[in-house]
Structure 1
């Protein structure tokens, strides 16, 4: 039997939006830019930060899958060297990755409909991402979720980083719920570990991101094909 759930905290990319369709084109474009068109260097940048050139998938624990822009920048600055400092790369990532909203990322379901159903059940809703706070707010606005989402935070919101508990704790403070009444939904082990660290009532994995079922199953209470199954699960 599932515990009582009165709030749901969603990861963004790979959970609300299809990860590969949204992010891999941006990663490839940015790597090519940083490498100055050197295909071998561009591939090395990606591989060093979590890309498997054989499977063409990301390691779900890697910076590209679950890290911050600065964490990726630290690796790429070391590999690329030259004029690309960590600070310059972080600014470039923030600018390039902001394009994700302009490119209309692919939602895994009709987010406004799903969130509307959850709100009518009395649930509080939050979004916690390792992308920037600005990008998270842009997603909420672009997909007409304003008024449905009670809390938004990014890696730069001052609540720490996944897999630490800070983002869940901040959500709980904002919506005045104990962690045991919150379900955390995400596509990586970092999301599941964040849920555990904060004492969340449920850790729910989804298969629309970078982690296969066998990876998530070791860390999640349940693994769902996508968040489209969430309403039935919490009925």
Structure 2
């Protein structure tokens, strides 16, 4: 039997990377650039920083719940400095943020996101994005994918609501819409998304297997696991 969203759910808050866009296809090249910048051009150190942040330098695959998969630019910068980057954390964070905004120019959508968002809107559901990426990068991704008119709310780690897995992004979305947190479903590919949902007392925590998270890493905290956001319309239709 298909798991379905309850009628009490009035909005969906999406993670971005690994949830709406393919993580490795979108970010592998950009994360390599970030590591080279952090290593100040030292190729061996750049590879070591990639490994420390969760990415295989050879395959470009990123581990579930690793720094690249789950952390924001400030946290990644601090982690890289702790693993040998010669920069000060604040300076490196600024450089990484700039690199991540540039990386937002080439997102790989998981599915036809415009059709998905329009279908959700047709079902009466508001839509927001909550990401560990910076707000400028998120907004650029939304613009490139031509989703600006479909997204009701955007929050990044630097939007003033606190980072994941704190509940602030979801609580801010609820306040923006004038609904209860229990009327929002959180959808994401990593444990920090599920932890955010639990911390905010969201109405549902939906894990997707299209990103860096796996069934093993997500099943304990998620209410349900789905292949990707492309499966959401069926869950909505089953209400």
Give TM-score scaled by structure 1 length.
0.93
Aligned to 1:187: 189
1:20-53 per-position Cα deviation (integer Å, ceiling 9, x unaligned): 1011111112212332443321121122223356
1:88 aligns with 2:114: no
CA RMSD of aligned residues (A): 1.7
Alignment of 1:144-163 (within 5 A): 144-163=146-165
Q: Secondary structure at the match of 1:223?
A: strand
Tell me the residue number matched to 1:217.
219
SS at match of 2:6: coil
Residue in 1 aligned with 2:72? 68
Q: Select 1:115's aligned residue among 117, 121, 145.
A: 117
Corresponding residue number in structure 2 for 1:198: 200
Matched, 1:168 2:170: yes
Structure 1 gaps, min length 5: none
Superposed displacement of residue 110, structure 1 = 0.9
Distance in structure 1 (CA, Å) of the matches to 2:85 and 2:109: 36
Structure 1 residue aligned with 2:209, among 203, 207, 210?
Answer: 207
Task: Tell me if the contact between 1:14 and 1:210 (Cα under 8 Å) persists in the aligned partners.
Answer: yes
Q: Distance in 2 between matches of 1:216 and 1:54?
A: 26
8 Å CA contact 2:13–2:184 kept in 1: the answer is yes
Report the equivalent of 1:78. Answer: 82
Question: Which residue of the partner structure matches residue 51 of structure 1?
Answer: 55
Check the 8 A contact 1:206/1:227 in 2, yes or no.
yes
Picking from 220, 226, 230, the partner of 1:228 is 230
Deviation track 1:97-148 (CA, whole Å, cap 9, x = no partner) reads 112222x210001111110111111111100000011111112222121221
**2:110 aligned with 1:99, yes or no?**
no
- Where 1:229 maps in the other structure, the secondary structure is helix
- The count of aligned residue pairs is 233
Task: State the TM-score, normalizing by the size of structure 2.
Answer: 0.92
Q: Is the CA contact (8 Å cut-off) linking 1:3 and 1:181 kept in structure 2?
A: no
Give how far 1:81 is off.
4.2
Greater shift, 51-60 or 1-10, is seen at 51-60
- Structure-2 separation of matches of 1:81 and 1:43: 12
**Aligned residue number for residue 23 of structure 1:** 27
Question: In 1, Cα distance between the equivalents of 2:137 and 2:88?
Answer: 23
Matches of 2:44 and 2:69, distance apart in 1: 21
